[in-house]
Amino acid sequence: MGASGGFPLDLVLFGMIAAFLVLRLRSILGRRTGFERPPQANAPAPGPGVAPGPVIEGRAETPAATSSRPLPEPASPLGQSLARMSAIDPTFDIARFLDGAEKAFRIIVGAFASGDRTALRSLLSDDTYRAFAQAIEAREAAGHVQVSEVRRMETVAIEEAELRGNVAVVTVRFVSDQVSLTSDKDGHPVAGTDAVTEITDLWTFERDLATHDPTWRLVAARSA
């Protein structure tokens, strides 16, 4: 997938499209979210005991505090990789990154289901966006309607992290309770279920830490 490296492009894209069309939205990163950007100096201060959230479209969002956010041990190989990222970009903060990653996950799940290409465009790499757009076009051509809702986020945790020059590549494990159902034009179910289902996704985000662009984009996704 271009800069994501390590995976055959055709296989990754085919797997993503198949997951969207045949099963349900099992894996899902445009307007610029910049979920790594630190709070602006003139931003309103959060209330007592409220941690600052990711900056989404120019305003600070308070993240939901319901998910488990285990942090890597600093001395572990994973922790050391993240420390090297902080050495390149001192604004990189693991907790804030996870807040933003969860926000992006929720946005993308909803945007894919509703066919909101504008919301998806800034959150995805070029290759990943093309795969999403193709899946949406195929769904629309078939007259299918998808409804997806994240009912609860159980876990958001960094699974892998590496530096490729100045490019940071971070894989996040999302464990969520979702409702995802695709119906035909007559309202008959064709994929998914209206029952709440626990889904585990692994998303790989990428960002060039040496640039001023704060946006992390999704470059690969799979179900675990």
For position 209, which CATH number holds? 3.10.450.240
CB 135 within 8 A of CB 108: no
CA distance 221 to 224: 10
Q: How many domains does the chain have?
A: 1
Residue 35: its pLDDT value, please? 52
Residue 66: its pLDDT value, please? 56
Look at the block and give the residue holding tokens 């984009």: 217
Which structure tokens are listed for 166? 């100045």
CA distance 152 to 149: 9
Q: Is residue 7 part of a domain?
A: yes
Residue 5: its pLDDT value, please? 43
Q: Is residue 87 part of a domain?
A: yes
Q: Is residue 57 part of a domain?
A: yes
CA distance 156 to 176: 9
Q: Is residue 81 part of a domain?
A: yes
Q: Is residue 47 part of a domain?
A: no
Q: pTM of the full predicted structure?
A: 0.70
Residue-by-residue pLDDT tens, the chain, 224 positions: 444 444 444 444 444 444 444 333 333 333 333 454 444 444 444 444 433 433 333 333 444 445 799 999 999 999 999 999 999 999 999 999 999 999 999 999 999 999 999 999 999 999 999 999 999 999 999 999 999 999 999 999 999 999 999 999 999 999 999 998 999 888 889 888 889 999 999 999 999 999 989 999 999 999 88
Q: Is residue 15 part of a domain?
A: yes
Q: What is the DSSP string of 83-146?
A: HHHHHH-TT--HHHHHHHHHHHHHHHHHHHHHT-HHHHHTTB-HHHHHHHHHHHHHHHHTT-EE
CB 94 within 8 A of CB 69: no
Closest CA to 176 of 45, 39, 28, 29: 28
Q: Is residue 45 part of a domain?
A: no
Boundaries of domain holding 183: 2-40+52-223
Neighbour-count burial for 85-104, b at 16+ CB within 10 Å, e otherwise:
beeebeebbbebbbbbbbbb
